[in-house]
């Protein structure tokens, strides 16, 4: 496991660098998909971007999949894809495996499988995460692989996606400004068209511009405030120090657009993730509106709960269960019979029995009452899944 974790960290580091700059250059998303598939052999990356306000941009950016298959899927087979409901119902920021919700074994006799999927070797399963889900915008990344590699592949895929989901959201937030052509109006337009809280901060720490979300956070005052002479004031001393150091890094050296990483701060039930981008008069793309302006830092603040509401994530991490096993364990510990649980989770009774044997073996227990006791702390605060 430690070997897998080390490998995942190296992959995350390389892909994060591409993601960071892809917010200003949409062509880098192809490089991202190419590197994703190369760094995790046996996977094929497919990035689906549906933005009704964009003036340009392909709906599919992919690697490891033949272009003809993408064409056929778009022209015909998307309409009969049994995973369509899985994709449409995918919750924001939550990773899901198709094998947990609709395994390929359940539709091998379908037209979709017989006419299309079986002709594409080694990608009959996927793990997907959605990081935009709005009426006029939908963005999702799927890592496809062979179903027999489900567990082995996801030991790398899941930590990588978990680390990349928020950086990808921020980059697509920036990219949308370029894709919709809204960058011409300068500073105020830049921050107003970012969905998350966003500010422009000068070298001396003054707030040059802030969107409505940032102004609301500042008025709340829990994380930061805008003081006299528009000075940015971060409440937590440790975070303020980290922020100042990263800003100093950005203002040193040549004329670049740079992304040094994130600062995180947990505050009660919420977590603030702060990303910094240096904007200069030599920057391209969405930053071109700053030609002739002094360098400044674009600050994007995402506020999210520190843990998923889905208790299966915590149970997976605590006990080493798979996602499917964790969901089954929760249902059974909540009092569902095995047939009831299998029906809710859309798996066969035989699959549920097999998973239950594995759960008992991993937890070193023999009865359902022991399972209830072991999972009690997760069941008292979590919603029923």
Q: Report pLDDT digits (tens) over 49-69.
A: 887 766 555 678 999 999 999
Q: Give the tokens for residue 84.
A: 């369509």
What's the residue count for the chain?
385
Distance of CA 293 to the CA centre of its chain: 33
CB proximity list for 376: less than 8 A, separation 6 or greater: none
The pLDDT value given to residue 146: 94
| Residue pair 21/143 in contact by the 8 Å Cβ criterion | no
**Beta partners for residue 142, in sequence order:** 46, 128
| Residue pair 36/143 in contact by the 8 Å Cβ criterion | yes
When pLDDT is cut at 50, 70 and 90, the band that residue 237 belongs to is: confident
Read off the pLDDT of residues 298-333 as tens digits, 9 standing for 90 and up: 888 877 644 445 677 778 767 778 888 888 998 888
Read off the pLDDT of residues 143-198 as tens digits, 9 standing for 90 and up: 999 999 988 899 899 999 988 888 888 788 777 666 555 544 555 667 877 778 88
Distance of CA 13 to the CA centre of its chain: 15
Domains detected in the chain: 2-180 (3.30.450.80), 187-304 (3.30.450.20), 311-379 (1.10.10.10)
**pTM flag (> 0.85):** no
Angle between helices 323-333 and 368-379 (to 10 degrees): 100
CB count within 10 Å of CB 241 equals: 12
Read off the pLDDT of residues 259-277 as tens digits, 9 standing for 90 and up: 445 565 555 456 677 877 7
Distance from C-alpha of 118 to C-alpha of 375, rounded to nearest angstrom: 40
Read off the pLDDT of residues 64-116 as tens digits, 9 standing for 90 and up: 999 999 989 988 898 899 988 888 888 888 888 998 888 999 999 999 999 99
Q: Please give the residue that has the higher pLDDT: either 143 or 288.
A: 143
Distance from C-alpha of 85 to C-alpha of 78, rounded to nearest angstrom: 11
The pLDDT value given to residue 45: 96
Q: 320 — phi, psi (to 5°)?
A: 75, 25
**Beta partners for residue 130, in sequence order:** 92, 140
Please state the three-class secondary structure of the chain as a single string: CHHHHHHHHHHHHHHHHHHHHHCCCCCHHHHHHHHHHHHCCCCEEEEEEEECCCCCCCCEEEECCCHHHHHHHHHCHHHHCCCHHHHHCCCECCCEEHHHHCCHHHHCCCHHHHHCHHHCCCCCEEEEEEEEEECCEEEEEEEEECHHHHHHHHHHHHHHHHHHHHHHHHHHHHHHHHHHCCCCCCHHHHHHCCCCEEEEECCCCEEEEECHHHHHHHHHCCCEEECHHHEEEECCHHHHHHHHHHHHHHCCCCCCCCCCCEEEEEECCEEEEEEEEEECCCCCHHHHHHCCCCCEEEEEEEEECCCCCCHHHHHHHHHCCCHHHHHHHHHHHCCCCHHHHHHHHCCCHHHHHHHHHHHHHHHCCCCHHHHHHHHHHHHCCCCCC
């Amino acid at each position: 496991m430690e070997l897998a974790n080390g490998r995942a960290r190296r992959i995350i580091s390389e892909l994060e660098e591409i993601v960071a700059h892809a917010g200003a250059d949409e062509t880098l998303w192809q490089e991202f998909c190419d590197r994703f598939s190369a760094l995790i052999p046996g996977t094929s990356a497919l990035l689906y971007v549906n933005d009704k306000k964009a003036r340009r941009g392909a709906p599919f950016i992919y690697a490891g999949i033949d272009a003809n298959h993408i064409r056929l899927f778009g022209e015909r087979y998307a309409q009969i894809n049994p995973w369509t409901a899985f994709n449409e119902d995918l919750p924001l920021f939550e990773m899901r495996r198709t094998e947990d919700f609709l395994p390929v074994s359940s539709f091998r006799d379908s037209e979709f499988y017989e006419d299309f999927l079986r002709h594409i070797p080694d990608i009959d399963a996927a793990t997907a995460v959605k990081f935009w889900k709005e009426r006029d915008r939908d963005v999702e990344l799927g890592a496809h692989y062979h179903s027999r590699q489900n567990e082995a592949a996801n030991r790398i895929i899941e930590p990588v996606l978990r680390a990349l989901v928020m950086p990808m959201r921020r980059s697509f937030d920036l990219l949308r400004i370029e894709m919709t052509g809204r960058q011409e109006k300068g500073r105020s337009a830049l921050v107003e068209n970012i969905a998350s809280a966003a500010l422009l901060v000068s070298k001396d720490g003054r707030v040059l511009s802030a969107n409505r979300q940032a102004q609301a956070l500042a008025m709340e005052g829990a994380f930061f405030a805008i003081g006299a002479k528009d000075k940015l004031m971060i409440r937590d001393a440790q975070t303020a120090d980290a922020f100042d150091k990263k800003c100093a890094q950005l203002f040193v050296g040549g004329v670049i657009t740079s992304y040094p990483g994130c600062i995180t701060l947990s505050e009660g039930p919420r977590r603030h993730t702060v990303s910094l981008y240096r904007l200069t008069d030599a920057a391209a793309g969405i930053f071109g509106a700053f030609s002739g302006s002094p360098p400044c830092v674009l600050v994007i603040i995402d506020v999210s709960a520190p843990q998923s509401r889905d208790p299966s994530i915590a149970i997976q991490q605590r006990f080493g269960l798979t996602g499917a096993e964790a969901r089954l364990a929760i249902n059974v510990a909540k009092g569902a019979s095995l047939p009831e649980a299998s029906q809710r989770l859309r798996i066969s009774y035989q699959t549920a029995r097999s998973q239950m044997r594995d759960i008992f073996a991993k937890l070193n227990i023999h009865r359902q009452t022991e399972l209830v006791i072991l999972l009690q702390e997760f069941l008292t605060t979590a919603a029923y899944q």
